[in-house]
Amino acid sequence: MPTVTRRGFLKVGVAGASAMVAAGLGFDAALAESTKVKQKLRIAGAKELHSVCPYCAVGCSLVAYTRQNSNGSVELLQIEGDPDSPVNEGRLCPKGATAMQLAVSPRRVESPQYRAPGATGWKSVSWDFVLDKIAQNVKASRDATFVTTDGNGNTVNRTEGIAFAGGAAFSSEEGYFATKLMRGLGLVHLEQQARV
Amino acid sequence: MLQNNLFHDEYVRNYTNASFLVKDGYAFTDGLFSGYSASARTYNIASWSYDTDPATSFANRDMTLQNPRSVFQLMKQHYSRYTPEMVSSITGIPVADFNKVADLVGQMGKPDKVMTIVYAVGLTHHTTGGQLIRSGAVLQLLLGNMGRPGGGMNAERGHANIQGNTDHAISWEILPGYLKIPAPGQKTIADYVAQSAPKKSDKNSWNFFGTNYSKFMVSTLKAWYGDAAKKDNEFAFNFVPKPAGNASWMTIYDQALKGKMEGLMLSGMTAASIGPDSNQVRQALGNLKWLVIMDALPTTSSEFWHAPGVDASQVKTEVFMLPATHWIEKEGSFVNSGRWSQWKDQVLPPQGQARHDHWILADIFQRVKTLYKTQGGKFPDPIMSLTFDYKDPLKPDLDEIAREINGKDLSTGKQMTTFANLKDDGTTTTGDWIYTGSYLDTGNLMKRRQGVQDPKANDPTGMGFYPNWSWSWPLNRRVMYNRASADLNGKAWDPARPGITWNGSKWVGDVPDYPATMDPHDPNAYLPFIMNGEGVGRLFSNGMVDGPLPEHYEPIESPVQNPLHPTNSASPVAFLYDKAAGRPNRFGTATDYPYIATSYRLTEHEHYVTQHVPHLVQLQPRPFVEIPQELASEKGIKSGDQVRVSSKRGKVEVLALVTKRLGPMTVAGQKVYQIGIPIHWGYIGISADSDPSHGRYWLANALTPFVGDANARTPEFKAFLVNLEKI
């Protein structure tokens, strides 16, 4: 039997049954027969985009297929391993293979939520409301905990009372931007998932 | 390996510091290195310095490796205690099994052999974590396997983009590109460089990093503070905050418990689940004035104030939950464990009202700036002058930011092509020097996609480099320190597995980590490890705060005494947060908590976010602990029984999975059991929604200790003490 690379197999699969038969790959007759069933591929006519798995740092490449519906909304049809990637050659683990259920979820937080001190529930609020309040908090805490000169007379210009943590799900450029802004605000407590 | 001369002799002699002499005064006695202060629980690392020539301040060397003060001889003596029997006593690995592995590994010191060590970052989750990694690196140096294709000490990082975001310094102790955060007392760039940059300690050392440190720093300050960064104000060096001390993960919550931390912003990271001692962390969250969560889905932190058993009316923290976009709703790069920066498309528009994290941060920043403009306040200068050269300052493009990270030549306006051209006179910028070269005037190299669709064309060396697939830092180099992949004459150690080789006029193969045309026969040719001061790999290092040579210490909580030195059983410099803060002791002993526990992940989940993914919840629906068969039968526990696992800090109540794959082991002459604790569950997610207690006692980190490795302050998630009961 001729060797079939995983990539070759996937490409053939996408190209459809006729290519598979024509390539003479030696599949048995039953399989060849079954592939003659006229079935429209779920991804037929879809837009093909590239992404990277959101879970661990092996960096498996993803192919994502989307379609624009008549009402203008974009529908995610399928996510699968990218056969061209030297990292995963089309493969995905159980997490990557179900990435679609992370991408589109009825469990998403749909709008900004606010919980006042001592309140027993969330309140849906506007973006302006939360961003204004947070900006006021940042300024108040910065001004209250900012140290210009330490006990030894050294200029230190640091904000001691605000911390920022996160970033493993950021695009790198977002992470850089977060660092720049937080250092710009004088933060010294900066952390992400490298330690924990 | 040392006793049987199985190490790679030529490599060790020439490419490591085996020949360097160590100053008199260095010693190791009964588990303590020289320079220890018991009251401060720290070492004075100056006592681990090289013996230097006063005229040059270079280290004295003995190329015969016979001098008793040579690193090689000190090391040989240090590790003579680690006999196979001792290793077995420490680890529980049977002597015969250990010998089998040692025999295999020992063969890898032949020049035509190579092996790699790949570790998941769980290896760091010990109070000796930094040294555990170093022990692998030391072993690989002895085998001559660093800098070679197929070699190395390789971390598999645990989240999609920890690598990129560590490179870009979302970490208290660094600025982008692993420049140190400035310290109090440094007034000028020169002060900063003098205290931060590596110093040349051998005449043939290039010391590339040390030599260029000021160029990288000044170019970053120019990128951040633009016109406000001028030569006559030390390029706004005083704008950069200078921390008083450690400001890493546990310190944040320690400060909150002390009432000193007012606000915390978390993005894609849930404090209540991820850190050690979840109950103490939740208490800390309740001590904050305000908490901002940026996430696509609810987390145990966004909901901590009304978690099961918590009276929300008593929690005074003001909490904001900001819906952020998912990775697939934005473009930008993810950097994998191999430093490949792979660009991704925006596949979907944001769901609901979700916004990108960087747009949220840009907007908050601009509002803060407006407040300072209208109201004034403490030292607003850095806020006012931070560069925001984006088409829409509230909605910067990740493409614009990627170009900023690469940096440009201010005199020509062109993108920089290499960090070698960065200057410290204020005429160049870079957001992160190690990414210079990723985004040229010709385009974004991180988008390249020439992969296995044509291996012959796309992987010309056949070594799997795929140089036109994405882009890897630095300068698209795929194997770092690859000068060490060739011998002194520039020939590959193994012709079948070349990294770079000297063809008579230049280095060919991978992108050389070395001057491209430096003749290896030149007496002034640089040593291979260009980033450190020695120019060679460090078997012995004073870059660590807990010892120049890796040494075994028991975890802070352990049922046994260290067989090597029972009087100094655990790391004498591990950072004990509660004790240092004067809080009540939260460490247990084997009398009350007789079993070892270790925490880990399962293939089917990724930390906590997958609790929202139906298929993965179906694959691993309920929290459980793994219990060794023998212990289970002692306790009358069967698979599927409900059990309680408790530590001095908290408890979990979950299902038992009785297994043969965990112990018992014989350690230090005692029979010990180990209980395995997957980390993925909590009071948020699909599983918790269907549980009567709503996952009240499902947080694995309720058990883990609040203690940090002395170097990195990484918590000891991998070894602690618990008790086990059937409910």
Q: Please state the ipTM of this predicted complex.
A: 0.97
A177 touching B (Cβ < 8 Å):
yes
Determine the Cα–Cα distance for residues A141 and B289; give it in Å rounded to an integer. Answer: 9
B169 neighbourhood in chain A, CB within 8 Å: 179, 190
Show the DSSP H helices in B52-199 as ranges: 71-79, 84-91, 95-106, 129-142, 162-167, 189-196
Report pTM: 0.95
Are residues A118 and A153 both part of a single domain?
A: yes
Structural domain for A153, as ranges: 113-191
Give me the mean pLDDT over the B160-179 stretch: 97
Cβ distance of A152 and B184 shorter than 8 Å: yes
Do B511 and B606 belong together in one domain? Answer: no
Rounded (10°) CA dihedral B600, B606, B609, B613: -120
Do B397 and B377 contact (CB within 8 A), yes or no?
no
CA distance B577 to B368: 33
Q: How does pLDDT run across B520-554, given as a tens digit for each residue? A: 999 999 999 999 999 999 999 989 999 999 999 99
Residue A123, strand partner residues: A114
**Which helix (H) or strand (E) is A32 found in, with range?**
helix A29-34
**A97 & A154 share domain:** no
pLDDT digits (tens, 9 = 90+) for B21-76: 999 999 999 999 999 999 999 999 999 999 999 999 999 999 999 999 999 999 99
CATH of the domain at A32: 2.20.25.90
Nearest chain A residue to B182 by CA distance is A156
Q: Do B377 and A122 touch (CB under 8 A)?
A: no
Q: What CATH code is carried by the domain that includes residue B632?
A: 2.40.40.20
- Indicate if B521 and B485 belong to the same structural domain: yes
Position A12 scores a pLDDT of 43
Q: Which residues contact B31 (CB under 8 A, 6 or more apart)?
A: B551, B553, B562, B564, B565, B567, B568, B569, B572
Cis preceding linkage at B243, omega within 30 = no
What is the pLDDT at residue B708?
93
**Average pLDDT score, chain B:** 97
Are B523 and B639 found together in one domain?
no
Determine contact, residues A74/B355, Cβ cutoff 8 Å. Answer: no
| A168 and A133 part of one domain | yes
d(CA B374, CA B380): 11
Query: Residue B210 domain-assigned?
Result: no
User: What residues of chain B lie within 8 A of the CB of A172, using their CB?
Assistant: 161, 164-165, 167-168, 332-335, 341, 402, 405
Q: What is the DSSP letter of A119?
A: -
Whether A150 contacts chain B with CB within 8 A: yes
Residue B485 contacts residue B114 (beta carbons within 8 Å): no
Residue B579 tokens read as 């004790």
Structural domain count, chain A? 2
The DSSP-derived string for B270-338 is: -HHHHSS-HHHHHHHHHT-SEEEEEESS--TTTTGGGSTT--GGG---EEEEEEB--GGGS-EEEE-TT
- End-to-end Cα, chain B, rounded Å: 50
- CB contact, 8 Å: A168 with chain B? yes
The closest of B250, B338, B10 to B144, measured between CA atoms, is: B10
> For residue A160, which residues of chain B lie inside 8 Å, CB to CB?
244, 255, 260
As given in the structure block, the two tokens for residue B6 are 């199985």
Q: Do B136 and B21 fall into the same domain? A: yes
pLDDT (tens digit, 9 = 90+) per residue, B540-595? 998 999 999 999 999 999 999 999 999 999 999 999 999 999 999 999 999 999 99
A138/B contact by beta carbon, under 8 A: yes
Residues in chain B within 8 Å Cβ distance of A193 = 158-159, 162, 269, 274
pLDDT-derived band at A42 (thresholds 50, 70, 90) equals: confident
DSSP E strand stretches across chain A: 47-52, 61-68, 74-81, 113-115, 123-124, 146-149, 155-166, 187-191
Residue A136: both structure tokens together: 């006021």
Asked if A196 lies within 8 A of B619 by C-beta distance, the reply is no
- Cβ within 8 Å of residue B707, ≥6 positions away: B127, B276, B556, B574, B575, B576, B577, B587, B715, B716
Tokens 């992400």, located at residue: A192
One domain for residues B545 and B574: no
> Do residues A64 and A135 both lie within one domain?
no
pLDDT given at position B155: 94
Across the interface, whether the CB atoms of B464 and A113 are under 8 A apart is answered no
- The pLDDT tens digits for B302-340 are 999 999 999 999 999 999 999 999 999 999 999 999 999
The minimal CB distance from A146 to the residues B157, B184, B378 is found for: B378
Co-location of A54 and A130 in the same domain: no
Residues A127 and A90 in one domain: no
Residues A118 and A99 grouped into a single domain: no
Give the nearest partner residue to A160 out of B260, B382, B713, using CB atoms: B260
Residue B343 lies in a domain: no
Q: How close, in Å, is residue A24 to chain B by CA atoms?
A: 20
Nearest CB to A146 within list B263, B379, B402 = B379
Q: Is B432's pLDDT higher than 90?
A: yes
Neighbours of B320 (CB within 10 A): 22
Q: Are both B499 and B590 inside the same structural domain?
A: no
* Spatial distance between the Cα atoms of B341 and B446, rounded to a whole number of angstroms: 6
Rounded Cα–Cα distance for residues B40 and B292 (Å): 36
User: Where a domain ends, among B396, B417, B432?
Assistant: B396
Q: Which of B161, B292, B297 to mutate to test the interface with A (most CBs of A within 10 A)?
A: B161
B473 in a domain, yes or no?
A: no
Mean pLDDT, residues A139-168 taken together:
97
Q: Do B500 and B576 share a domain, yes or no?
A: no
Beta strands, E only, A82-191: 113-115, 123-124, 146-149, 155-166, 187-191
DSSP letters, B630-644, are: HHHHHHT--TT-EEE
CATH number at residue B261: 3.40.50.740
Instruction: Give the whole-angstrom CA distance, residue B125 versus residue B128.
Output: 8
pLDDT of amino acid A16: 42
Which of A73, A103, A133 terminates a domain? The answer is A103
pLDDT band at residue A40 using 50, 70 and 90 as cut-offs: confident
Region of B232 (left: φ > 0; alpha: ψ -120 to 50; beta: rest) is alpha
User: Is 60 exceeded by the pLDDT of residue A3?
Assistant: no
Distance CA B123, CA A98 (A): 28
- Which of B123, B340, B347 is the best mutation test for A, with the most CBs of A within 10 A? B347
Q: Closest partner residue to A131 among B171, B332, B364, by Cβ?
A: B364
Band (A14; pLDDT cuts 50, 70, 90): very low
Q: Are residues B285 and B371 in the same domain?
A: yes
Residues B574 and B521 in one domain: no
| Residue in the structure block whose two tokens are 């079935």 | A39
Is residue B31 in some structural domain?
A: yes
Place of tokens 């039968």: B633
* Domain end among B505, B521, B550: B550
Phi, psi at residue A95, to the nearest 5°?
-70, -50
A vs B: CB pairs below 8 A: 474
Note whether residue B467 is domain-resident: no
Same domain, A19 and A83: yes
CB-based contacts of B367-371 (< 8 A; 24+ apart in sequence): B367/A131, B367/A132, B367/A134, B367/A135, B368/A135, B368/A138, B368/A139, B368/A142, B368/A185, B370/A135, B371/A135, B371/A136, B371/A139
Confidence category of residue A33, pLDDT binned at 50, 70, 90: low
Helices (H) and strands (E) in chain A, counts: 7, 8
On chain B, the residues whose CB falls within 8 A of the CB of A133 are 318, 320
Is B259 a domain residue? yes
- pLDDT grade for A5, boundaries at 50, 70 and 90: low
Q: Is A64 at the interface with chain B, CB within 8 A?
A: yes
Q: pLDDT of B219-231, one tens digit each?
A: 999 999 999 999 9
Residue B146 included in any domain = yes
Look at residue A17 and tell me if it is in a domain: yes
Amino acid at B50: Y
Range of the domain at B301: 243-327+352-396
**Taking residues A24-33, what's their average pLDDT?**
60
Dump pLDDT digits (tens) for B374-399: 999 999 999 999 999 999 999 999 99
B292-308 pLDDT per residue, tens? 999 999 999 999 999 99
Does A125 lie in the same domain as A91?
A: no
Which pLDDT belongs to residue B287?
A: 98
User: What was the pLDDT predicted at A26?
Assistant: 54
* H or E segment and range at residue B720: strand B720-726
Domain count, chain B: 3
For residue B443, CA distances in Å to A117, B399, B402, B415, B502 come to: 49, 10, 11, 10, 31
* Rounded Cα gap, residues B187 and B195, in angstroms: 11
Q: Is the pLDDT of residue B693 over 70?
A: yes
Same domain, B501 and B572: no
Number of residues written out for chain B: 727
Q: What's the pLDDT tens digit per position in B69-117?
A: 999 999 999 999 999 999 999 999 999 999 999 999 999 999 999 999 9
Q: Which residue of A lies nearest to B239 if distances are taken between CA atoms?
A: A157
A1: in domain: no
Is B89 among the domain residues? yes
B541 and B616 assigned to the same domain = no
A83, A103, A123 - which closes a domain: A103
In this structure, the answer to whether residues B576 and B658 fall within a common structural domain is yes
Cβ atoms of B260 and A162 within 8 Å: the answer is no
Radius of gyration of chain B (CA): 27
Residue A140, both tokens: 């108040």
pLDDT of residue A34: 66
Residues of B in contact with A144 (CB under 8 A): 262
Residue A96 shares a structural domain with residue A120: no
Does the pLDDT value for residue B285 go beyond 50?
Answer: yes
**B414, pLDDT greater than 80:** yes
A97 and A13 in a common domain: yes
Given a cut of 90, is residue A30 above it in pLDDT? no
Among A53, A78, A103, the domain-final residue is A103
Q: What is the mean pLDDT of residues B595-610?
A: 97
Contact call for B163 and A57, based on CB within 8 A: yes
Mean predicted confidence (pLDDT) in B653-663: 95
Q: How confident is the prediction for chain A on average, in pLDDT?
A: 88
User: Among the residues of B388-446, which ranges form H helices?
Assistant: 398-406
- Which of A52, A127, A142 has the highest number of chain B CBs within 10 A, making it the mutation to test binding with B? A52
Encode B224-241: b = buried (16+ Cβ within 10 Å), e = exposed.
bbbebbeeeebbbbbbbb
Do A67 and A119 lie in one domain? The reply is: no
Q: Within 13 Å, how many C-alpha atoms sit on residue B654's CB side? A: 31
In a domain, A143, yes or no: yes
